[in-house]
Amino acid sequence: MSSGMMVGKTALVTGATAGIVKATAVGRARMGAHLAITGRDHGRTESPACEIRVAGRETVDTLLADLSSQREVRCLAEEVLQSPSRNDVLINYVGGYRDTRDVTVDGFAHTTGPIGFNGLQCERSYSGSRAYSQSKLADFLFTYESARKLQGTLVTANALHPGVASTSATSIYVASVPDLEQVTSRFFAHRKPKRSSQLSYDEATADQLGRVSANFVGLPQ
């Protein structure tokens, strides 16, 4: 991929403080993109920002937010919307694995499943592996539903497996290659389109998950 492929474009990368996500941000900087990255605190966010500056971008926007908090998610969204710069690419990569059930400040927990609508908050039983698996399924369902709702616009939504922490990661590829600018509602792994699980394409499940989730966080449906 060309080192100048992203010149003139702005990308927001959430959770870019470590690992594959930081590598994604650095890789995009090397391709010429203006970067905005998020982190929970100044110390955790400034370190990757310095690496991105070394990679070739003198200016990096650092946005502070704990994305497990609905209040801070809304504040971050408002800050991005009020920015004078147009955001061309959003790479969402914030998550975690827990062996025990943890509840966020808003009272939400990881979920188990397939999508178990009768126990989304895992109050009665919790399994880290089931919770993680269902959270990934929910990611696909939300992505494909977003793509359907955005049909007819210039906005695309895709899911991916990021691969290893290198500048050739799938997340960089999908968000950078011009041939994929109009591709939407797809899953990529190892820089190739793949088919995700059959349930991830179930529109009725996606619709129900969207309605339940909106109710959880107090959004209009």
pLDDT at 21: 66
Please state, in angstroms and as integers, the Cα–Cα distance from residue 26 to each residue in 61, 62, 96, 217, following that order: 13, 14, 21, 33
Tell me the pLDDT of the chain averaged across its residues: 79
Active site residues: 132
Report which of residues 132 and 193 the model is more confident about: 193
Confidence of residue 98 (pLDDT cuts 50, 70, 90): low
Whole-model pTM above 0.85?
no
Q: Fill in the DSSP letter of residue 86.
A: P
What pLDDT does 101 receive?
Answer: 58
